[in-house]
């Protein structure tokens, strides 16, 4: 009789776990769809690819509830949003949907039960570059398949479009991911700590700064962005804007330069500043 009771309880716990995953995935999908739609009419300079600070939503779900919740919630959310925004899901099926799933599944997997703020910064930078590149490749494939881009265009056009779109998404998403996501997580810790994993509860920037790794990640990420910004001054960087008419190409390129230099400068400055004062931080 005792064994039967234990068995029944374990079954209930597993069902509760599955039910929680379904519920949180649905919540992630709905809130992400609404958040993404709110800014969907602000598009990239290429006329495709949206300004999307709402990536904070699946990032938080991936960290709190695991990679499958974050990945599936993000994929479903961007799928739903695309139907309302464009009237069909065809483009997102080969671009945004798989890229969102891969990106936020990766983020959740990299941080699952091993969360620290250092890992969070490094994982966010890695995931945004990789997932946005996949999304840009999907957009390019769709445009070629449906003859929006002619297959006879020079290779430089395709390279510039893919890399340029990737960089635009990356640099417009990164500040929100690095600044807003921690604030939301900290709010969850204060308001509903019962849903927050122990490693997230125990993570402390004050404890990580003295190790030096946290500041090094910030400085290296910032330096890489500054390097990209500087590289856009080279004549070869014009390949990034070959998809534009000449009268707006220079304006777009200047915008890319400014975003990378400013964001890189801020990250580097924060990292250097924290390194300078880390001796004052009590462990």
Q: How far apart are alpha carbons 177 and 52 in whole angstroms? A: 10
Low-confidence ranges of the chain (pLDDT < 50): 1-14, 283
pLDDT at 7: 39
pLDDT at 261: 92
pLDDT at 256: 81
Structure tokens at 105: 């599944």
pLDDT at 243: 66
Look up residue 49 and give its DSSP letter.
S
Q: How far apart are alpha carbons 95 and 126 in whole angstroms? A: 18
Task: Judge residue 11's burial from the number of C-beta atoms within 10 Å of its C-beta, 0-12 exposed, 13-18 middle, 19 or more buried.
Answer: exposed
């Amino acid at each position: 009789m005792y064994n039967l009771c234990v068995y029944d309880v374990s079954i209930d716990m597993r069902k509760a776990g599955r039910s929680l995953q379904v519920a949180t995935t649905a919540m992630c999908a709905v809130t992400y769809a609404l958040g993404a739609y709110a800014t969907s009419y602000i598009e990239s300079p290429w006329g495709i690819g949206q300004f999307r600070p709402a990536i904070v939503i699946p990032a938080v779900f991936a960290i709190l509830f695991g990679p499958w919740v974050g990945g599936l919630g993000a994929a479903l959310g961007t799928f739903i949003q695309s139907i309302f925004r464009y009237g069909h899901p065809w483009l997102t099926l080969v671009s945004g949907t798989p890229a969102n799933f891969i990106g936020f599944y990766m983020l959740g997997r990299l941080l699952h039960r091993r969360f620290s703020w250092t890992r969070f910064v490094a994982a966010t930078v890695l995931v945004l570059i990789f997932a946005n590149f996949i999304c840009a490749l999907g957009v390019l494939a769709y445009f070629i398949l449906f003859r929006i881009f002619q297959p006879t265009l020079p290779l430089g056009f395709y390279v510039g479009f893919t890399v340029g779109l990737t960089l635009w998404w990356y640099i417009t998403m990164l500040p929100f991911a690095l600044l807003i996501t921690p604030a939301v997580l900290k709010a969850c810790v204060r308001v509903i700590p019962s849903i927050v994993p122990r490693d997230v509860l125990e993570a402390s920037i004050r404890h990580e700064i003295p190790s030096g790794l946290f500041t090094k990640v910030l400085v290296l990420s910032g330096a890489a962005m500054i390097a990209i910004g500087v590289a856009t001054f080279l004549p070869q960087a014009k390949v990034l804007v070959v998809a534009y008419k000449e009268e707006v190409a220079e304006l777009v390129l200047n915008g890319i330069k400014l975003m990378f230099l400013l964001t890189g400068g801020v990250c580097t400055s924060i990292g250097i500043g924290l390194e300078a004062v880390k001796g004052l931080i009590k462990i």
